[in-house]
Amino acid sequence: MAARIEFWVEYASTYSYLSVTRIGRLAAEQGVEIDWQPFWLFPVRDQQGLSAPFPEGSARANYMWLDLERRARKLGLPYRRPEVYPFKSMPVARIGTVAAREGWCQAFTEAAFRLHWTQGVLMGTPENLAQALAAAGQDAARVEALASSPEIKEALTRQTPRAIERGIFGAPSFVVDGELFWGDDRLEDALQAARRAG
């Protein structure tokens, strides 16, 4: 069995920027295959009776921004705090669902996050999607039509019970052989588990 890691990506998640940016290189170096699993976190938490993680402006939220920037700096990643947070990520998750199905999820997702987190081209805006789709070599009109189809809507909806089955409650999440790892700071552990299981 090839070493393999499920990467559950929520496009509105802050720390996911770090993992989206890092996982491609790390997994390739370690011979681990990434199984991209775009999902929408809100209904997952809602069905689990979990509220929003914390109120904007609270000490907990303030710390997230401090820690996120500090981590980006430590990891050597460019970082520019986006002007908008939170935002509704369901539409971009539908495009991610098309991308995962067709095999270009990494290129699209890396570009969409990079635009949002380093250039102020906000996630899911027409400019963000156009540039990220172009980076993935895709025709925007074709993909956006497909992303609105009942089939893709249903595929994204089906991610909710699949996430819950795995015990997922946040993002980024990694699943290796049924074992859950949550948070960018568990990415290395998850990859190590994938190598052991592979």
Residues of this chain that interact with a second copy (CB under 8 A) are 48-51, 54-55, 58-60, 62-63, 66-67, 70, 74, 164, 167-170, 180-182, 185-186, 189
Nearer to a second copy by Cβ, of 144 and 184: the residue is 184
Confirm if 89 and 39 have CB atoms less than 8 A apart.
no
For residue 129, the minimal CB distance to a second copy (Å) is 31
Nearer to a second copy by Cβ, of 50 and 84: the residue is 50
Strands (E) located in 51-176 = 173-176
For residue 107, the minimal CB distance to a second copy (Å) is 30
Nearer to a second copy by Cβ, of 62 and 148: the residue is 62
* Residue 96 tokens, joined: 């991610």
- From CA 56, how far away is CA 54, in angstroms rounded? 7
The type of residue at 58 is S
For residue 52, the minimal CB distance to a second copy (Å) is 10
Nearer to a second copy by Cβ, of 57 and 137: the residue is 57
The answer for residues whose C-beta is within 8 angstroms of residue 27's C-beta and 6 or more apart is 5, 33, 34, 191
- From CA 90, how far away is CA 32, in angstroms rounded? 28
